[in-house]
Structure 1
């Protein structure tokens, strides 16, 4: 499997946030992280976790698929399979939170 291009994900988050007129403070509050973490994600100084990415996407009314679409192709595992693999690494409480967020997005 290829390495995830966090720079591309960071750029997409920043472009989407700016195009919507949202502040880093807004995303930080929505993702329950501090503003400096959002800044570090957008400037590619920190890798965004799946949990934080889900909250960011929800706050921007967009999908995980939109943000990570350049990170998979039909030649690789499907996005669903990659998400399932990542979810298997999470503890039960985090899985329940993520599943609730996904349900709320539908």
Structure 2
């Protein structure tokens, strides 16, 4: 014997699951225009760091990690790509490159 209430619960659950899968597929399609990241080499990473006026010690303070860990990240060709993004953004950070300190905002009187 089949129970109509149980059958309805199963049907509702399947409908919700199908709707969730559809939303997931739609959101996956939305990111198709994201540019694929090309890894930078350890030498390029170090050049970007030094070229922007930073060194491993100051970057370690900025990122809240040890200098040794920063050097490991620099040397790792398979590092997570967010480090590449961070170093590219850091090279454009004019505040941090000045003695490792942010300049205070000036408040108009």
For the criterion TM > 0.5, the same-fold answer is no
Identify, as 1 or 2, the structure richer in helix.
1
- TM-score with structure 2 length normalisation? 0.37
- TM score, norm. by length of structure 1: 0.38
